[in-house]
């Protein structure tokens, strides 16, 4: 009966549940994007290793836009000497690698007519593959000797390889990096997952660190990757923090002028941001649900007025107040539940469209968001349907039968 009533007034039904649809859709879409991003960040840090510490002179945690503080931008970068000191003086540290990357230099990567458009260029030591858990799909990583002598060797990520060598084996080929010839030694394996979609190692262009310094001796930004001894991550974290504070002259009561992160810390920072985004999404969806609920209550009051004679007939043939309340509550919940289902379906479709149009923005539709969206929509019908249902139940059957 409830469905028949809805179908009899299609336009009115659609306009009534529009707020419900928008509210549910907002919650599910935002939840799917945040869940996908969280899974990608977990995949990235697990790829690097859960026993690794990430060190950089700027904050590394996820940010909600805005500029970095001036104090942070004025910090001096970490150095290779810092990395070597950590390796030598921190007993709980097993190994240390680093990335040098260009901040002021524009880098071009070419092979004959092919130009790499999307890549991350870095200079790394020979032990970086082990520290960062990089596996090779073909070829090899460069050796300590090649790093020490600044050999013109390069390791490519699979996406760069596909862009520059779509139909040929790149091993042994010479590519041009800023006009300098570099021999391709290998291609690393494709990432299983990474932050914001593809991992940076998928589009990496890695050369020996000393080769980069020969080309760009003025570049001084370094990202340190510190591998702790098994089971000693927290101890290693304390040792590294203490050593870097001493080396960088941080006063005892001052905050660190560098950032140390671990897998757990990065995930906690991301969760703190997503909590804020989630509250905003809930606030937006609550407005839509409130508007939808008021619309449902209004339309149900109109329905009670339109069906006064029907209510009188039902009461005259034995319907109790409970029967009337149940009838109108079910109708209200059916109305909002339909809006919830439509909102969920549209949200799932929107999430797949987002994944198709913006592959770098991951989306994973969580079951809890779908279930919550539907349950809340039904609950809105229950809450806002009480007054119209009660009004219908309290109608006098004789007066209702005489109503024109």
Q: Are residues 111 and 86 in the same domain?
A: no
What is the pLDDT of the chain when averaged over all its residues?
Answer: 82
Same domain (yes/no): 36, 83: no
Contact yes or no for 99/223 (Cβ under 8 A): yes
Same structural domain, 156 and 211: yes
**Pick the residue with more confidence: 300 or 264?**
300
Q: Which among 210, 236, 223 is positioned nearest to 87, based on CA atoms? A: 236
Q: Answer yes or no: do 251 and 202 share one domain.
A: no
Q: Where are the alpha helices (DSSP H) in 62-208?
A: 70-73, 80-89, 128-131, 144-148, 158-164
Predicted pLDDT of residue 404: 56
Question: Side-chain half-sphere of 148: how many Cα atoms within 13 Å?
Answer: 3
Query: Is the domain of 128 the same as that of 146?
Result: yes
- Low-confidence winner among 28-42, 53-67, 167-181, 276-290 (lowest mean pLDDT): 53-67
Judgement on whether residues 85 and 118 belong to the same structural domain of the protein: no
Q: Which domain holds residue 16?
A: 2-42+269-402
CB count, 10 Å around CB of 280? Answer: 11
Same domain assignment for residues 159 and 109? yes
244 with 304, same domain?
no
DSSP at 221: -
Assess contact for 316 and 401: CB atoms under 8 A: yes
Strands (E), 80-196: 93-100, 109-111, 114-115, 120-124, 136-139, 153-156, 174-177, 180-188
Last residue of a domain, one of 187, 220, 253: 220
What mean pLDDT is predicted for residues 373-388? 86
Other C-beta atoms closer than 10 Å to the C-beta of 354 total 17
Q: How far apart are CA 158 and CA 155, in angstroms?
A: 10
The answer to whether residues 380 and 299 touch, using CB atoms and an 8 Å cutoff, is no
What is the pTM for the complete model shown? 0.62
Higher per-residue pLDDT: 160 or 72: 160
CA 366 vs CA 34, 35, 38, 124, 395: distances in Å: 10, 7, 12, 38, 45
Q: Are residues 289 and 363 in the same domain?
A: yes
pLDDT reported for residue 45? 65
Q: For residue 58, what are the CA distances in angstroms to 109, 222, 226, 278?
A: 27, 10, 16, 26
CB distance 225 to 54 below 8 Å: yes
The reply to whether 254 and 279 lie within a common domain is no
In this predicted structure, the answer to whether residue 194 has a pLDDT above a threshold of 60 is no
Residues 6+ apart with CB under 8 A from 268: none
* C-alpha R_g of the chain: 31
């Amino acid at each position: 009966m409830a469905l028949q009533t809805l179908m009899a007034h299609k336009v009115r039904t659609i306009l009534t549940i529009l707020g419900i649809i928008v509210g549910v859709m907002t919650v599910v879409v935002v939840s799917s994007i945040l869940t996908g991003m969280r899974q990608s960040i977990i995949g990235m840090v697990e790829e690097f290793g859960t026993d690794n510490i990430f060190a950089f002179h700027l904050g590394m945690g996820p940010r909600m836009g805005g500029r970095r503080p001036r104090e942070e931008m004025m910090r001096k970068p970490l150095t290779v000497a810092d990395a070597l000191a950590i390796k030598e003086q921190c007993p709980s540290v097993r190994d240390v690698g680093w990335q040098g990357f260009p901040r002021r230099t524009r880098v071009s990567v070419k092979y004959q007519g092919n130009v790499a458009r999307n890549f991350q260029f870095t200079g790394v030591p020979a032990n970086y593959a082990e520290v960062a858990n990089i596996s090779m799909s073909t070829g090899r990583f460069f050796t300590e000797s090649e790093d020490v002598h600044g050999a013109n060797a390069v390791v490519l990520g699979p996406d760069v390889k596909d862009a520059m060598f779509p139909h040929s084996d790149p091993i042994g080929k010479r590519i041009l990096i800023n006009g300098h010839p570099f021999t391709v030694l290998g291609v690393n394996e494709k990432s299983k997952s990474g932050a914001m979609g593809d991992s940076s190692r998928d589009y990496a262009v890695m050369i020996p660190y000393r080769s980069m310094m020969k080309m760009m001796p003025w570049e001084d930004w370094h990202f340190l990757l510190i591998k702790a001894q098994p089971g000693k991550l927290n101890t290693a974290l304390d040792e590294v923090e203490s050593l870097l504070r001493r080396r960088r002259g941080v006063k005892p009561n001052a905050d660190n002028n560098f950032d140390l992160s671990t897998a757990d810390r990065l995930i906690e920072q991301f969760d703190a941001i997503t909590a804020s985004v989630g509250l905003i999404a809930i606030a937006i969806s609550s407005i839509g649900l409130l508007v939808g609920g008021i619309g449902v209550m209004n339309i149900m009051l109109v329905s009670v007025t339109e069906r006064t004679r029907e209510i009188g007939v039902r009461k005259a043939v034995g319907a109790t107040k409970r029967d009337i309340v149940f009838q109108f509550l079910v109708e209200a919940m059916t109305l909002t539940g339909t809006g919830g289902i439509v909102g969920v379906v549209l949200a799932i479709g929107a999430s797949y469209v987002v994944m198709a149009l913006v592959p770098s923005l991951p989306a994973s539709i969580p079951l809890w968001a779908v279930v919550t969206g539907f349950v809340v929509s039904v609950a809105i019908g229950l809450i806002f349907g009480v007054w119209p249902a009660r009004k219908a139940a309290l109608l006098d059957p004789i007066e209702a039968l005489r109503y024109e």
